[in-house]
């Protein structure tokens, strides 16, 4: 009888490994059943990796470059009746290197998650996960130009996949990952975090607004908050180009951008090639019409048409006296040569080899959103869109899809009540998502809850482009600061930021400039000293520090 009880106890130990200690066998069959209401697990695969070195730290997801050991679980599931198949990819550090934290990583463009974000987090000791939201994603954002996977057929959206991408898969991700983590380590994560930029920033805000209990800390950078407006309004410079019948080469717009910076660079009291006070800049591009500029060796003059396009890009779309959306802030490049694929920006053009015969190069997300979603066709040509069609498209986009896709609900009370903490930062020189959409959202949050700063803080980064890039100082350790806020109760009074220098001469070490980024609406004001040191700046209500101190 005693032997029988021993065998029963041994069987229980084998069946419930998490009740007695760590599993860590990296076998899908050994995981306890994953149970999440409304979904059905289709498949679980697992693969063990040792001394994995095939990865590179990324600006958004920094981590120590080293060989890592981890178990890669892939969980495939469906929402019964929806005919969708979604994959969650979970990388779990092995050999007692897990620090008890879980980090879910966001995506970009139409990708719900990037696999290049996984290894850096594992190297830091985090359990990390991403979702594909039911469609193929790539590490290379340049391969995400279309959303034709959203079409069930011409004229008909696959609403299940649309809702998966917009929000539902974001709720599934932590529910699945936390169960896998508990099954593998024998205990759930002590702390759970979200980290993302662009689409990943939108996903972070979606999590805070709709699923406030999923994460204790969220980093939502350069968020595509007002997707339904932004994706259409980003066409505005091209609508102006069509009206004028003129498509300027990038070199002409670069000359206007340089003149803009020259005029407004020192509004913050510092000459550094950055417009840190775009709201104070009143530069009119018409003042430089006729100014000579170089276009790859060809001497030209700035045209009146190019000046009007620049002014309209800064102003943003209006219909009569009514603002429809924000324009590009002064100091934002009209087009940027990206690390992947062709240049990107809200006023990009492409020309022949002589910089003649130019035409619009539309922001890929705008093209796919209008074509695949608003018009429900596989491909679309927007070159003939006039102003009236632009206005109709913008109105239809907001009316039909904002409630599904946009994350502009300023009521974060449930997230705050759940004890959540969130940091948003946005580059003032963001060439794809105008920063004013984010500052406007944050002001609405504060208007609704004057105490929101106790759980949500927003920072602006002068001279920083979309998520990274530019000559400004970008945040260097935002995830570390949200962890400190959540786990130690220390709210970020500033974000540490530094420039990413361009390569210099072999015998010259490039100077890295450090700046403190201040919580909105405070600004980082120069108080004297070395411009490359954070100690030379302090947070103030205006860049005129002497005047501000006098008023105090």
Give residue 144's pLDDT.
Answer: 53
pLDDT for the residue numbered 303: 98
Active-site residue 238, yes or no? no
Long-range contacts of 199-202 (CB under 8 A, 24+ apart): 199/106, 199/107, 199/108, 199/109, 199/110, 199/111, 199/112, 199/224, 200/105, 200/106, 200/107, 200/108, 201/106, 201/225, 201/424, 202/227, 202/407
Catalytic residue, from 79, 121, 172, 198: name it. 198
pLDDT confidence band for 17 (50 / 70 / 90): very low
Mean pLDDT for 514-522 is: 97
Catalytic residue, from 84, 207, 430, 536: name it: 430
Sorted by where each begins, the domain ranges of the chain are 23-189, 236-361, 496-551
CA 411 centroid distance within chain? 21
Q: Which residues contact 269 (CB under 8 A, 6 or more apart)?
A: 525, 526, 543, 544, 545
Provide the H-helix boundaries in 348-506. Answer: 364-368, 387-405, 413-417, 436-448, 478-488
Give the span between the Cα atoms of 273 and 262, in whole angstroms: 7
Q: Which of 157-166, 216-225, 442-451, 502-511 is predicted with the least confidence, judged by mean pLDDT?
A: 502-511
- Quick check: is 466 catalytic? yes
- What pLDDT is recorded for position 8? 35
Percent share of the chain, pLDDT over 90: 83
- Looking at residue 97, what is its pLDDT? 94
Sheet holding 495-498, edge to edge: 474-475, 495-498, 514-517
Return the pLDDT at 11: 35
pLDDT per residue as tens digits for the range 394-410? 999 999 999 999 999 99
Catalytic residue among 466, 514, 534, 536: 466
Residue 23: partners with Cβ closer than 8 Å, 6 or more residues away: 17, 30, 31, 183, 184, 185, 186
Residue 548, Cβ density class (10 Å: 0-12 exposed, 13-18 middle, ≥19 buried) = middle
Using the predicted structure, report yes or no on whether residue 81 has a pLDDT greater than 70: yes
Is 198 labeled as catalytic in the residue annotation?
Answer: yes
pTM of the model: 0.92
The single-letter DSSP state of residue 230 is: H
pLDDT digits (tens, 9 = 90+) for 98-143: 999 999 999 999 999 988 889 999 999 999 999 999 998 654 555 5
């Amino acid at each position: 009888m005693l032997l029988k009880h021993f065998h029963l106890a041994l069987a229980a130990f084998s069946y419930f490994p998490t009740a007695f200690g760590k599993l860590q066998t990296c076998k899908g069959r050994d995981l306890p059943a994953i149970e999440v209401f409304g979904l059905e697990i289709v498949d679980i695969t697992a693969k063990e990796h040792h001394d994995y070195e095939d990865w590179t730290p990324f600006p958004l997801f920094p981590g120590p470059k080293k060989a890592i050991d981890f178990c890669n679980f892939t969980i495939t599931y469906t929402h019964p009746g929806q005919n969708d198949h979604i994959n969650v990819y979970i990388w779990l550090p092995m050999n007692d290197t897990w620090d008890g934290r879980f980090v879910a990583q966001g995506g970009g463009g139409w990708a719900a998650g990037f696999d290049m974000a996984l290894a850096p987090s594992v190297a830091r000791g985090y359990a990390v996960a991403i979702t594909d939201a039911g469609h193929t994603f790539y590490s290379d954002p340049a391969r995400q130009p279309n959303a034709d996977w959203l079409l069930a057929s011409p004229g008909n959206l696959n609403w299940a996949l649309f809702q998966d991408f917009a929000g539902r898969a974001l709720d599934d991700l932590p529910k699945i990952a936390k169960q896998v983590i508990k099954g593998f380590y024998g205990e759930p994560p002590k702390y759970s975090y979200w980290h993302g930029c662009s689409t990943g920033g939108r996903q972070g805000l979606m999590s805070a607004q709709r699923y406030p209990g999923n994460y204790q800390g969220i980093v939502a950078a350069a968020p595509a908050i007002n997707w339904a407006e932004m994706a259409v309004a980003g066409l505005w410079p091209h609508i102006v180009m069509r009206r004028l019948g003129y498509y300027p080469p990038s070199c002409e717009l670069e000359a206007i951008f340089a003149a803009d910076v020259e005029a407004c660079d020192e509004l913050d009291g510092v000459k550094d090639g950055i417009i840190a006070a775009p709201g104070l800049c009143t530069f009119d591009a018409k003042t430089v019409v006729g100014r000579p500029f170089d276009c790859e060796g060809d001497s030209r003059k700035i045209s009146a048409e190019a000046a009007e396009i620049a002014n309209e890009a800064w102003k943003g779309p209006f219909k009569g006296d009514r603002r429809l959306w924000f324009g590009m802030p002064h100091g934002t490049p009209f087009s940027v040569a990206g690390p992947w694929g062709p240049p990107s920006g809200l006023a990009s053009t492409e020309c022949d080899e002589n910089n003649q015969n130019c035409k619009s190069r539309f922001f890929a997300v705008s093209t796919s959103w209008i074509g695949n979603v608003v018009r429900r066709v596989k491909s679309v040509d927007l070159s003939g869109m006039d102003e009236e069609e632009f206005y109709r498209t913008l109105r239809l986009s907001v009316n039909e899809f904002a409630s599904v896709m946009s994350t502009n609900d300023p009521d974060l009370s449930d997230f705050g009540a759940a004890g959540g903490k969130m940091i948003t930062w946005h580059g003032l020189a963001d060439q794809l998502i105008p920063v004013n959409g984010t500052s406007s959202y944050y002001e609405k949050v504060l208007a609704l809850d004057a105490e929101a700063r106790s759980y949500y803080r927003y920072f602006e980064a002068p001279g920083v482009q979309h998520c990274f890039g530019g000559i400004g100082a970008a945040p260097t350790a935002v995830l570390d600061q949200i962890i400190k806020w959540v786990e130690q109760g220390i709210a970020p009074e500033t974000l540490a930021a530094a420039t990413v220098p361009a390569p210099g001469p072999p015998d010259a070490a490039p100077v890295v400039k450090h700046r403190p980024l201040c919580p909105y609406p405070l600004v980082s004001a120069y108080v004297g000293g070395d411009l490359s040191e954070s100690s030379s700046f302090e947070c103030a209500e205006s860049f005129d520090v002497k005047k501000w101190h006098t008023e105090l």
